[in-house]
Copies of this chain bind each other. A is one copy, B any other.
Amino acid sequence: MAKIVTMGELLVRLSTINYERFTQAERLDVCYGGSEANVAVSLAGFGHESVYITKLPRNPIAETAAQTLRKYGVDTSKIAWGGTRMGLYFLEQGQGYRSSNVVYDRADSAMSLAQPDDFSFDEIFAGADWFHFSGITPAISRSAAKLTLEAVKAAKRNGLTVSCDLNFRKKLWTIEQARSVMPELMKYTDVCMGGREDAVKMLGFSLSERNEDDTPNLPAYEEMFRSMVEKYSFSYVACSMRRSHTASDNELSGLLYDGHKLYQAKNYRMAPMVDRVGGGDAFAAGMISAILRDKPPQEAVDFAAAASVLKHTIPGDFNLVTTEEVEALMNGKKFGRVAR
């Protein structure tokens, strides 16, 4: 199986349990995640050789975070160690008409202060097939933006395919800041992914309104994707499509444009969901894996969407599923029976 390198910030996540509000919580679930780490775990679960790079401080919390990645099959031997803290966030899990709430505390993390010489990119990329990053990494600090640029350059230099999940985070930077950084990174990117409005916000493309019946305007998407390919020569543009009815009831689908045609995945109604954090990362990982396994576009987008749907049934950030489980869902007609 192919070898993929991902790079990003690894966060401690402290989330409420039993639908409690923060003010009621006496215990918090602790887990670890971050967009690119989530992709790395997913890819390891699909059987790929998965390498994750970040910078972590030398303390037992960060060591536990790395051990957890290792548990799920990710190669953590290239992680840089140093700095003083991990970023963390508190997550109040929403329910029904109460949305989830996040309190970020991620300033000055080891990764946000990392420098290019913390990583031997040419050594890390040797023998690798693919490099993946998300728009969160350049957003966390100026030095992280520089680091990301160094990384994508090194990846291209070493012949890797580069993918980016745009992932606009308005709590981390403004639209203007994003637009001053992301276009340069796109020049080195082969596969561009994102949520519905990320390319609009971060790269300045325009997307027509939704249809009157609130369904996505597919021709408008195709038009935008075509412009994106024209401008940046992307091999693929992909997009996960979520519709949130309540915090417990979402629909999920996805689109893939291969430069020629737009492919839409089946639409799933997920009600209730266990944990929606990491759903987009699961989509990205599914897409990367499918492309690496030379699946045709329709299969690729179906695989990515089904992978993302399964993520919503699993607590924590990670999509702990196998290729076989995703294929069973994407091909299946019936769900929910106990196999016995």
List the interface of chain A (C-beta within 8 A of B): 14, 17-31, 59-61, 63-64, 67-68, 70-73, 84-85, 88, 90, 92, 94-105, 107-108, 169-171, 244-250, 268, 270-274, 276-277, 306, 309-310, 312-316, 320-321, 325, 329, 334-340
Contact = CB atoms under 8 A, between A and B. Distances in A.
Contacts of A14: 14, 28, 30
Contact of A246 (B68, B98, B103, B335): B335
Contacts of A101: 60, 338-339
Given A30-B25, A95-B274, A19 B313 contact: yes
Contact of A71 (B68, B271, B272, B334): B68
B94 A107 contact: no
Given A30-B14, A67-B72, A99 B339 contact: yes
15 contacts: A23-B64, A28-B28, A60-B103, A94-B336, A94-B338, A95-B313, A96-B270, A96-B272, A96-B274, A97-B329, A99-B336, A100-B339, A169-B340, A247-B313, A276-B338
Contacts of A248: 271-272, 336
A339 B277 CA distance: 11
B335 A99 contact: yes
Contacts of A61: 22, 90, 103
A279 to B, nearest CB: 10
A335 B245 contact: yes
Nearest to A340: B102
Given A96-B270, A274-B19, A245 B336 contact: yes
B85 A19 contact: no
A27 B24 contact: no
A336 B250 contact: yes
